[in-house]
Every structure is written in C-alpha cells, then in structure tokens.
Structure 1
C-alpha cells in the first residue's frame, strides 16, 4: 500500500525542492502544506489520512491526545534532534516511530548579529526614510567597539555569538546557572557574577538558552528594569524565556533602547498582535533556522529517515 506523507508549515513552498523526494518512488506520496494548522481539532482532521508527518522545529505540538487521534500515523519526523513538544511516551505507546534531523547552529548565530547590527545602526528606520523620501540621516548609531555584550547562555550558539562580538572589539561577558569560569575562559569571555550584574552592565544582551523550568520567564519586568535605557535586548532562542508583556511595556515606556526578536509565544504571529506595532522593536518571523543549507539538511535527512523506516531500520530516532 502506498503511504502518504505530509510536510507541515512549508511557508515558502520550498520543502519539495530542497531535497530529492523522488527516491521514495511509488512507495510514498508527498504533500506539502503551506498554511499553518492551529489547534488540535484542526490538526486531527487534516492529518487523519497521513502515515508520515514531517514537522518543522517546535511549532506544532504533538501531545498524546493528538497522537491518539491519528491511528494511521506511523512515522513522525522533526527537524533537529531535540523537540520539547512531542509526547514520546505516547508515540511509543501508539506504535509511532519518531526521528529527527541534524540542524546547524550557524543560521541563528548570523541572524542574531543581523538583528543586533540592525538595531545598533537603525538600519530599518534609515532604509524606510531613504526609500520614502524622508529625512537624510535621522538616527545616531550605537557603537559596538569597546561596548559590553552580555550573553545569557554560552553553549553551541552563544559561544559562536561571543566570538563574533570579540572580533568587533566588544567586551563580552556571559552568565547561565551552571556556567563555569573555565568554560568562559575557554571561549575568551568574562564570567558575570550574576544574571543581574550582566543585565545592568551590558550595552547589548543576547539570549542563548534552552527553554526549561529554570529558564521560563527568566527575563521579566524586574530584570528588564536593571538594563540601561541605552541598552538593547536580542532574543533568537525561545520566546518564553523573556516575558512578552514585560518586554512590550519596556519598549512602549522607552525603558530600553530597543529589542530584536525572532521568536514569539504564538507562531505565526496573529494579525493585530501588539508586537506587530510595538515601538523600538526589530522583529523577524522566526528566521533563525531558515536558510538554504538548513532546509537542505532538514528535508534531505527527512527523506533518508523515510527510506530507512521503509527498510525496517529507522535512523536518528528520538528522543
């Protein structure tokens, strides 16, 4: 029997062209959905006739209640080798194999710097003014050289962001709950005594932590109040690490100079959402992982995962 495979959230209509799905031959029919499916009922209805689901990052939760409503589902493939919104125990209980793919940390590092530089030099505002026959030179850029970059997290991505900051001549410090002085020295940065010190001292703060019980809401109203009014916050990690309402209040009240945000509590961000019109905000629609190389990896390895499953030897199994 021919299996049916659906690729979720193919917003740019590039999933099929990013890999050679033809190697699956007549064994698998592949369909890519461009529109986001929101809510368990919508997902249960739309996915009922598919044996294989390819999901993008952690945008679509697969709790046990949804998996139970998909009796035809045999293989669930997630991009990346870590996914916090899939109920693995329920998948196993219902005979669903879960596999992942590799994911490069390079694109989020590069986007972090795109946001930081865009904020520092007023790129969007100046571009809009120039193209709209507005004022010539309406902003005064914030310098990076000899300014302090504070990193919340110094893992795979944070350490690479740190090295770019050092190349700009910035003074870089980092903090996380288990960060050691040895690790900080290995990267060539200072270890901040506390989260509070890092926030108070930094001219730019960038978030690079995994989301968990200890990091959810880590940056709230009290933490934002510690930042300089001339400082900028960048979050390309997970939305829930920074309290959204507190950030909106800080931006509207001008208590920080600005923020660069690539991740949101709800994605895609609904029309009319307060973040769409917030002042001092440079926002992108979760582009951190979106690059040609990453998509080639995601979908190319998704095809490999399907072929391996069909051969009876699944690869890159999660968790």
Structure 2
C-alpha cells in the first residue's frame, strides 16, 4: 500500500488514478510519493520514505531538485501537458501587442449618452493598430510550447524563426518545415520583430536575455516572456524601454517595478490557468508517479535518466547510485552470490548519478531481500528498492 501526499488542490481526474486498493491519500506523515503544483518545497523536510515527487506542471523551480537527487528522490514534471494553454496565451498577447484592444474596451466603458455608437465611431482612430501578418517572430526554445507557438504563428501569416540547439527528435518532427531554423541566438535577436522565450530556468538560462541581448534587437521589437521570470533581466528591459531601444515587453511574471508602464503588459501568471491544463497536468503527474512506484520505470524526470523495461519477472530491484566505474559489475556480483539469475537489466547514467533496473528470476523473498541488503551496504549506492510483480506482467 502506497501513501501519496498532496500539496495544493490536484484535479480529481488525476487523483482518481490512485486506486483505493493500493493507495491512500494524505493518511501518513511518511509518504511514498508527493504530488503538487506550485507549493514551494525548499524548506520542506523530506521524510526518508519519499521515493518521488511529481509536479503537475512543467517548471520545477519550487522543488529543491539537487537535494532530492542526493537523497535518491526522483523528481517528475509534466512537459507538454499545459502547452496548449500557454500557446494560446502567447498568441493572444501577440495580438494585444499590436492592437490596443484592452485600451479601447476600457475607453468605451467611460462613454455616456444616447449617441454612444456615434462617439465610438468618431474617436476609434486613436485605437488603430497593426497586423501580425507578414511580421517576423523569433521563438527561443522549441520545446512543447515553443514548437506549438511557432507552428500556429506561421498559420497566422507570420514569418517564423526558431532557435534551440538542443531540440529533441520528437519535437523536431512536430515543427512545421515552414519554420526557419536559426543557427545562433544572434540571428533571432537581430532580425525579428517579435521575440518570445520558451526555455526552462536553469543556472545557464538565468538572465539569458539581458542588456547585451536587448541591445542587438531592433528598437521596434517587442519581447515576450512566458517561461520564467528570471530568464529576462527586468532592469535591462526597463532601461531599454526608457531609451526607446525596445518597443514593448509582455510577461506572465509580476514584479512591482514592471507595473504602471505604458509599454509593459504584466499578467498574473496565467499561462497554464485553464481547467483543461490543470486536468491534463494532474493526469500526467499521477500516471507517471503511479508507474514509477509500481514498476520503477522512470519517464519525464528532471533529475534522473529515462529508464523503461517491461516487467515480467517475479521481482525487480531498482538501484540509484553514483555514476562510478564497475557499478554494474558490483550489482551483478551481489545477485550472483545469492545464486540468482538476472533475467533482464537496464542501466542509464545522467551526470553524477545512474539508475538501474534489475529483473531477477527468483521467487524466494528472503533471497531477494538478502541481495537488496548487500547492495544497500555499498557506499556508492544511494537507494535500493525491491518491487514484487503483483500482476505477472507489467
């Protein structure tokens, strides 16, 4: 029986995946798994029981990922589950940046008299705007969201250029061949009329768009940030706007110094705030966490490699260890010393850590436990789990 701890309200469509025969929800202070949305866990004291944390969303900056990795806690996210919601908000913001729709709607509310229609017709010229068709959009980061923005912006009649040196093969297949591929970031900065950023916040991307990058943009360019607040240097944006070296900035991340500026539109982090996105994220997070707890399979983790293998043996041993030489040999020896055959094994490394699935052809629970005890005693091994195959085939 696994126990799941929740932070925030998780859509019931996701939580319903944890069947009552095998899961309890928030019944113990020693959970096996945690599922959350935006709750910050940096001050949370993780019990030793915690095996995994699943974020119902793409960003994981509210989770101490490095600490979790050191403790052998797998951190999952839900890339792509909220991509359509963010994409639609980006497209809406592009339209709002060229058409003063909000300003016009607010102005109309102040009209009075029987000739309101005539007043509106007479003064509507002050809210004339421009069209997106024929303008050039630069998309920095071609993950799930960036790829969708690029494709749909092209369908709006825009010329689209994308830049992402690390674009995945799966994503590459989804990007329209009409989207130009930039060879470097400077090509996007110097040629595009609109630039939207869609990269995760890491040590390498923090402040990615700063004074130097903004200086390379056209003075008529408009910048959009629906990724994470720290990726764009807000002070550099303000300086550029005051010097008329940038035409506008739209962000989904509120900061007091950005408010009340006629060239800045600040939204209250609405990117994934749709009912559909919350449900999709909850379903994906629950499905990923459930599969890991029951089979040890890792998919969509931000701190451990993807490791998948069909589970057909009586028992599976999962091992999280430091990525050092001869670890597979030590694991194999520990199994062989108990006279057990390895039926299947897969190992993947990621930076300083590695993850291994070992399926063994053994029904004796005591012998399997003895193997796990030997492996746990290895100082290079962080966590060992024994999973019994309850179905015969997973």
Q: TM-score, normalised by structure 1?
A: 0.71
CA change 1:158–1:306 in 2 (3 A) is closer
Which residue in 2 is equivalent to 1:83? Answer: 60
Aligned pairs (5 A) from 1:165-180: 165-177=153-165
- The reply to whether residue 70 of structure 1 matches residue 51 of structure 2 is no
1:238 aligned residue (218, 223, 228): 228
Q: Which moved more, 1:135-144 or 1:162-171?
A: 135-144
1:91, 1:314 → 2: CA distance? 17
- The reply to whether residue 151 of structure 1 matches residue 129 of structure 2 is no
CA change 1:313–1:174 in 2 (3 A) is closer
2:24 aligned residue (20, 28, 36): 28
1:95, 1:203 → 2: CA distance? 45
1:226 aligned residue (216, 220, 226): 216
Deviation at 1:161, TM superposition (A): 1.7
Which residue in 1 is equivalent to 2:36? Answer: 55
Unaligned runs of 5+ in 1: 32-47
Unaligned runs of 5+ in 2: 113-119, 305-394
SS for the counterpart of 1:285 is coil
- The reply to whether residue 287 of structure 1 matches residue 263 of structure 2 is no
CA change 1:73–1:261 in 2 (3 A) is farther
Aligned pairs (5 A) from 1:242-281: 242-262=232-252, 264=253, 269=254, 273-281=256-264
2:143, 2:74 → 1: CA distance? 29
SS for the counterpart of 1:5 is strand
Asked whether the 8 Å contact 1:101–1:316 carries over to 2, the reply is no
Q: TM-score, normalised by structure 2?
A: 0.59
SS for the counterpart of 1:172 is strand
2:49, 2:269 → 1: CA distance? 28
CA change 1:168–1:71 in 2 (3 A) is closer
CA change 1:17–1:214 in 2 (3 A) is closer
Q: Kindly report the root-mean-square deviation, in angstroms, between the aligned alpha carbons of the 2 structures.
A: 3.8
Aligned pairs (5 A) from 1:123-138: 123-133=101-111, 136-137=123-124, 138=126
Deviation at 1:246, TM superposition (A): 0.9
Deviation at 1:116, TM superposition (A): 0.6
Asked whether the 8 Å contact 1:251–1:279 carries over to 2, the reply is no
Which residue in 2 is equivalent to 1:196? Answer: 186
1:258, 1:156 → 2: CA distance? 25
2:223, 2:102 → 1: CA distance? 17
2:65, 2:17 → 1: CA distance? 29
- The reply to whether residue 5 of structure 1 matches residue 5 of structure 2 is yes
Q: Give deviations 1:53-96, integer Å, cap 9, x for gaps.
A: 4222xx55545xx45x2337635221247735544564366565
Asked whether the 8 Å contact 1:148–1:203 carries over to 2, the reply is yes
CA change 1:107–1:192 in 2 (3 A) is same
2:193, 2:74 → 1: CA distance? 46
The structure whose Rg is larger is 2
